Structure 1
Amino acid sequence: GEPGPWFNQLDMDGDKTSVFHDLDGSVSEYPGSYLTKDDNWLVRHPDCINVPDWRGAICSGRYAQMYIQAYKSSNLRMKIIKNDFPSHPLYLEGALTRSTHYQQYQPVITLQKGYTIHWDQTAPAELAIWLINFNKGDWIRVGLCYPRGTTFSILSDVHNRLLKQTSKTGTFVRTLQMDKVEQSYPGRSHYYWDEDSGLLFLKLKAQNEREKFAFCSMKGCERIKIKALLPRNAGISDCTATAYPRFTERAIVDVPMPRKLFGAQLKTKDHFLEVKMESSRQHFFHLRNDFAYIEVDGRRYPCSEDGIQIVVIDGSRGHVVSHGSFRNAILQGIPWQLFNYVAAIPDNSIVLMASKGRYITRGPWTRVLEKLGADKGLKLKEKMAFVGFKGSFRPIWVTLETEDHKAKIFQVVPIPVVRKKKL
């Protein structure tokens, strides 16, 4: 059949915002986890595990959804950013046809986080935000981009879709202090208009109980309605440049990742191998601490010396067959020890590599990375983590991360390793 109007080529709104709850772990091998698209940073956190074969990620968290309805405009493109990953925005075109008098955007969001919302044209003069799948007390903070000189009228209501009745539940009054946005009373909340950044800040909090599988509360759908009086000839309402890094938040893991199923817990011989690698540099005042490790299915191989560490895994069964480290003194010049080590690795092997400390970032040794699947002509930075493969083809999951301060890979590799088509 044909894909629906919200799904196609993994690049439409439905594709971008899909989240699947794997209760028993029968799909991901992580019971209770959520599966999402790998580039949906609205629902990701630092410990999510990538699944390159699916172009997806395995995550944990508490999620809900917003319906953002922009009235008298159907052709706006919306950009939404989670404040802890400002360099990873999500763009949505809207779920409705362009011929309608309004457009609806339906991002899935992580609860108890802050977001900003931007537009590719002037912000809509009328917005309604529906709180979908929010339990009582659940909240998010949003900063909506508007032109300078805008004034606002904001209220909250409950819409009973069955009875087709709407009742006003409160108003938002302006405050000149950002932290007052956190304070709300029955029927009275605050908004903060930060004209310097162009962001209107609101805290959206569900006030009513919800039945288990209903997407709105028992009293109806809770909504916030914003009417904005916009100045004439206002330009594009994209406040990203003024919002960040000012409103950037530190990325933390609120809900720990579930433990992976192993051994007899797995239903089939085909399974995932969990691979975690990190190479980072931390400063404590004048002290510098370099930290690096490779971890395979929960077993950690710490890196002790400056240079690179290698762990080799049998691609048929997923067992570690060897591991070693190569100091900087070996990496300089013609590193025959490293070349011979890699030459002796059997075909169909997964090869993990991580740097530690001030390692050699250039020179003949980097050809090893290319032989194991890295792109030709690569340029390494101060930190490096690599998942490679020695064999007759290049699997989709071959990954190289290299950054100045921190390189990190959390991903799964399918066992046994076989050639697959790219999604």
Structure 2
Amino acid sequence: MRKSILARLNNWIIFSLMTLIVLTIVIASTILFNFLRKEEIKRVDILVSALKFQQEVTTPSLEIQSLILQIYSSNTTIPVIILDKEDQIIDSKNIPREIENNSREIILLAKQMAQHYPPIELKFPNQNNQFVYYDNSRLLNNLRYSPYILGFFILSYFLFSFWFLRTIKKTDEGYLWAGLAKETAHQIGTPLSSMIGWIEIMKLEHPDSEGVYEIEKDIERLRTISERFSKIGSVPELNDTDFNTTIQDNYNYLKTRISRKVNFSLQLPPDDIQVPHNKILMSWVIENLVKNAVDAMKGDGTLTMSVFEKNKNILVEVKDTGSGMTKRQAANAFKPGYSTKKRGWGLGLSLAKRVVQEYHNGDIKIAHTEVGKGTTFRITIRKS
């Protein structure tokens, strides 16, 4: 219980930190982008205004010329190219270094700038007019992609949040059902201990009684059930290796306890299968699938259990000719608390999935189902 609380607390701390980081990045990026964009626009406006003023004033004073020169020199980021009417280079500033000594490339760059902003024409009395080409700075051009990067980051954050909250929900459900299973084992254990003592006394008084023998088998069965529940929530030891024997023993037990109207058959591979597993828990999984199949057939039909190898995996299929499932029922079949029966907690398949996936590193799913024709459950476990 303490571990579950700490796990949830750690998850919420991580979630809160991620939320704070995302909000900080979004706010800081937005403020920075808007500030730099406004500053670039101001500088472009000032530079253009200075060049236009120089063009309009016929005899500017030395102070004005000095001010215009200072404005032009202070520009260290905005690329500017000045050409005459014959496309001869008068001056260039803040252009890529690799083309600084290449006149042809500079002229091509100027024509590309003209596609973004129309050049400013500087008129002179001698008709040797000049044209000022300019563009956004490299920083501002790069900032054009920041909204897309930011959008991608936010989308990734929301996907992470969805995964995180879903994991939290599954973790809480897992702890709930594991706790319920352990409590059930504890509650069964008290009267079971008493029953074991009484059956020993009955065996002394009636050693050959068939009734005592049958009760002893049922008590042993209750002990097995109690042990199964007690293992949920803890890491079981995978000491058993003969998978065929586990399936065969489970089949033999179940065949004597289901309706005789059910044609129950087992198909095993001819060779032994060595798979590390926990016999008690794996038998529980098979028993859950078989009981669900019998309920779906209402005690009358054909039930086939098959074990076969495929690549490096061992597959166990439980196929029935029962009522089948709709798509919605199949999608919810393994969810804790979901059940199509009037009775039951919807716990069996959920715990079966936990046993296969978490304890045996395998998978369990509905391989095929069709309403009115039946369902096939499939367990997949790696051989080694």
Report the TM-score, using the length of structure 1 for normalisation. Answer: 0.17
Greater fraction strand: 1
Q: Which has the larger radius of gyration?
A: 2
Structure with the higher helix share, 1 or 2: 2
TM-score calculated relative to the size of structure 2:
0.19
